[in-house]
Structure 1
Amino acid sequence: MALHKATDHKQVDDTTDLFAGTVATSVAAKNRMPENASRPEAVYQLLHNELLLDGNASQNLATFCTTWSEDQVHRLMNECLDKNMIDKDEYPQTAEIESRCVNILADLWNAPAGATAMGCSTTGSSEAAMLGGLALKWRWRHKRLAEGKPADKPNIVAGPVQICWDKFARYFDVEIRQVPLEPGATGLRPHQLADYVDENTIGVVAILGVTFTCDFEPVKELSAELDRIQAETGLDIPIHVDAASGGFIAPFLYPELVWDFRVERVASINASGHKYGMAPLGVGWVVWREPELLPEELIFRVNYLGGDMPTFALNFSRPGGEVIAQYYLFQRLGKQGYREVYEACAATARYLGEQIASMGPFELLYDGRGALPAISYKLKDPENAGFTLYDLTDQLRMRGWQVPSYPLPANRQETVIQRILIRHGIGRDEISLLADDIHRALHRLTAGTPAVLPDDVSRIGFHH
């Protein structure tokens, strides 16, 4: 039986209770590797206890990311811990399942009938968006050089985008022309495009699920405006749809909304499997309308893993479990299941929006209707409210809720808003508890005493 010495020099063996041994009597080496090995149960318990200091993921209403998964997903992920997604020769069935997912998404996003789906999995929607942007840049450069024109000043036009597009612009030497939000708007509007696009524009990014406000930008209308600009100027500017969140919402909640490859100007679409795709953290997707839209120069072939394999993701080695989990969810839920889950989420978002609107000091920017299952709101009169949304965030955090407060971007930074997302695994009862806690927090912030709700019997005896 293995023996380990604790710091108090007691002999510790495998029968010693964890809290009579290392866990209770040692401080973990924080910034250097310890000299000796330890019992696995002891190290597990030590880390488990440290991680309890993190927030409760199910109460994190700031994140788009999946925080709940079925047991079967956990099992499949565990079975794929040793599978390298990039090694398609060694793990051909995992590669086949990735290909199936790409085809499922191409079909879901209405790729042209008969076209061969071109796309791949990534570590998330940020990497997928960058691949879409790189393809836009390379195609624009090909065209410019073929016309004998300079290709050294590419730009990309977008509204209030997620930080990955700023990274793309900086990393790959592209000017980002971020169109300011107009008063009352929740995203890029078509009539704004003419002032920002020119012959150096590699593409326009349309957001299906704006990070700040949760609304959808009007892809079809943006395309129509680019059609008008082309008719006047000859500029043929493609669209990349960043559907990080909405790509797994629109097909099920709003099937009649035309935003995807039904719009001919849409060249590529990215989405996050680990957001509203419901897969565990670590998977995103990018799909092109047709293979020709992915320049050959962006495809690399490697043979040192055992076969001649093309790769065009930014990352290389990564686990295959997230892709397997995504395929499991496609098979497990089908279109009916995804629709039912998000109908329930959307109904809960609308319920919360109604609760927030009825409380008095808030004005909804997005009420949960027509886009993501979420809401966003601001203070009606921030100067005279007696508190800020940042104060409300702090109050809610004391109950474990993570509800972000932040300023809107570009030209509306004086407006501070809050956003609450409803995901798979978040039920109506949980959200009713959040609404109660917001109500109590408002009372504390404005009156300085805890509020007692009419049905809050548990607190009546403790009212001071």
Structure 2
Amino acid sequence: MALHHVTSGRDEGFDDVYSGLLSRRPLPKYRLPEGPNDPRAVHQLLRDELTLDGDASQNLATFCTTWSEPQVKELMAENMAKNMIDKDEYPQTAAIESRCVHMLADLWHSPRSRTTVGCSTTGSSEAAMLGGLALKWRWRAGREAAGKPADRPNLVCGPVQVCWEKFARYFDVELRQVPLEADATGLRAHQLREHVDDNTIGVVAILGVTYTCDYEPVAEIAAELDAIAADGGPDVPVHVDAASGGFIAPFLRPDLEWDFRLERVASINTSGHKYGLAPLGVGWIVWRTAELLPEDLVFDVDYLGGSMPTFALNFSRPGGEIIAQYYNLLRLGREGYRRVQRACADTAAHLADEISRMGPFTLLYDGRGALPAVSYTLDGDPGYSLYDLSEALRAHGWQIPAYPLPPARQDTVIHRILIRHGISRDRADLLVADIGSCVETLASGRRPERVTFHH
């Protein structure tokens, strides 16, 4: 008997996906199928099942890019087989990665943008960890050179994304998270003196706090550390986690000093697949100058066809995302990025104004001055919570996260709405209408049915 008669899912003389063998039984979930199946049937049935996912464009909880031009998709498909780590076999892809690093170094005002070092990563979390490792290695070398113990490193920060908690746990560093002050949206410079000491490897300043979307005052943080060092205290470097703001501030607030214009800023990470507008899977880390990346952290690999240096937590990964990032840098240029980010910021400010007028909300961040986003709290106790409102909005397809602020403001629950490229003014107005409808429903005492997921 021919193989396709048994396992292909196609019947002789009748070619229909939904009448074939594969579609007439549940898809395998726990055991590999015995034989191959018709690729058209597998493709269609998987597409059908994936329609049960939420609409990515309505996911206003994510910072990540959900819209790309068709040319980006074509470039990624054409370069799908290229392994980014194999720089000897794919030298032009490696050259494109290097171009991106130097363009970002220049955008962030590195004093040696053409000779400094940096690399692509799978995202800003990996990039942040690489920045943290460099801080730890430089601190340890300094302590050992001075004949001092180097076994109790700490890292000072405000409310950070979980990647920094992972870094601290994985690499044996005490994470000193400074509690949020009342009405503050992030770390404040005057809080540093009671937290930094001789064992502090660095201070992390966030350009776009995950919880509130506001920028921490990087220049003030650097100035306070200058003052601490001048008073005889430790000389502590700054790493800027610009996962989101690194592709916003240079275009919308070019006069804001947060980057390598501040001598105390040693390194910066960003996420290309957030407001860098690249598809998922690329982040960046750049050092102020090459000397700030310890040589001990760089490995020479010689079994991929040639000797090459590598510095990453991952090894093999696709090159398409790096190529897509370079496409966007060429396609948009400074003026194009400015226009895209301005459109997002204007939509966020409009959305904030509409939500503020609607009530019963108090804006925590109104979309002006930092990320294109809105965050707000619920006034008093109207008989429902922001968790209830999030659940109600899911019935309309919207994914709006509700969560508590970090210590010491964890009693405050907020909503955060992110405006990305591809979220139009019209779509924002549709969201406003649905929020109003859900508020009316909840105020009447009704509750939405819970959304269930299929496994």
Provide the TM-score with structure 2 as the length reference: 0.96
Corresponding residue of 1:28: 27
The aligned residue for residue 452 of structure 2 is none
Q: Offset at 1:22?
A: 2.8
Matched AA of 1:231:
A
Deviation of 1:49 after TM superposition, in Å, equals 1.1
Q: What is the Cα deviation at residue 27 of structure 1? A: 1.5
Match of 1:3 in 2: 4
Give the AA of the match of 2:424. G
What does 1:101-120 correspond to in 2, within 5 Å?
Answer: 101-113=100-112, 116-120=115-119
- Shift of residue 449, structure 1, vs aligned partner: 7.2
Aligned residues: 446
Contact 2:59 2:399 in 1 (8 A): yes
1:234, distance to aligned residue in structure 2 (A): 3.5
Query: Deviation digits for residues 222-244 of structure 1, max 9, x if unmatched?
Result: 00100111111241100000000
Counterpart Cα distance in 2 of 1:286 and 1:70? 25
| Distance change >3 Å, CA 148–CA 11, structure 1 → 2 | closer
Aligned partner of 2:387: which letter? Y
Q: For residues 271-330 of structure 1, give each alpha carbon's deviation from its aligned partner in whole angstroms, at most 9, with x where no partner exists.
A: 000000000000000000011100000000010001110000110000000000000000
Alignment of 1:173-252 (within 5 A): 173-252=172-251
Displacement after TM superposition at 1:24 (Å): 3.2
Q: Secondary structure at the match of 1:12?
A: coil
1:307-346 pair list within 5 angstroms: 307-346=306-345
Query: What is the match of residue 79 of structure 1?
Result: 78
Amino acid paired to 2:204: V
What is the distance in 2 between the residues matched to 1:14 and 1:103?
A: 59
Alpha-carbon distance in structure 2 between the residues aligned to 1:277 and 1:94: 19
- The secondary structure found in structure 2 opposite 1:419 is strand
The answer to whether the 8 A contact 2:10-2:38 is kept is: no
Give percent identity, aligned residues only. Answer: 67
Structure 1 counterpart of 2:23, one-letter code? A
**TM-score, reference length from structure 1:** 0.94
CA distance in 2, matches of 1:80, 1:279: 15
For residues 345 and 34 of structure 2, the distance between their equivalents in structure 1, rounded to whole angstroms, comes to 53
Q: Which residue of 2 aligns with 1:285?
A: 284
1:387-429 Cα shifts (integer Å, max 9, x gaps): 1000000000000000000000111110000000000111000
Which residue number in structure 2 is paired with residue 131 of structure 1? 130
Change (3 A) 1:142 1:14: farther
- Aligned-partner Cα distance in 1 for 2:10–2:83: 42
Q: Please list, as runs of the form range in 1=range in 2, the aligned pairs for 1:42-441 lying within 5 A after superposition.
A: 42-113=41-112, 116-381=115-380, 384-441=381-438
Structure 2 alignment gaps of length 5 or more: 448-455
List per-residue Cα deviations over 1:130-188 (Å, max 9, x = no partner).
Answer: 00000000000000000000000000000000000000000000000000000000000
| Counterpart code for 2:61 | A
- Cα deviation for residue 6 of structure 1 reads 6.9
Partner in structure 2 of residue 454 of structure 1: none
AA in 2 matched with 1:320 = G
Rounded Cα–Cα distance in structure 2 between residues aligned with 1:15 and 1:187: 64
Q: Give the root-mean-square deviation of aligned CA atoms.
A: 1.5
Alpha-carbon distance, 1:265 to partner: 0.1
Given the alignment of the two structures, is residue 443 of structure 1 paired with residue 440 of structure 2, yes or no? Answer: yes
Which portions of structure 1, spanning 4 or more consecutive aligned residues, are displaced by more than 3 angstroms? 4-7
In the TM superposition, residue 23 of structure 1 has moved relative to its aligned partner by 4.5
Unpaired runs of 5+ residues, structure 1, are: 451-464
> What is the CA distance between 1:26 and its match in structure 2?
2.0
Aligned in 2, Cα 1:215/1:14: closer, same or farther, shift over 3 Å?
farther
1:448: how far off? 4.4
Q: What secondary structure, in the 3-state scheme, does the structure 1 residue paired with 2:190 have? A: helix
Cα contact 1:4–1:38 (8 A) shared by 2: no
Matched with 2:451 is none
Query: Cα–Cα, structure 1 residues 295 and 113, in superposed 2: closer, same or farther, change >3 Å?
Result: closer
C-alpha distance in 2, partners of 1:240/1:311? 21
Q: Which amino acid aligns with 1:395?
A: A
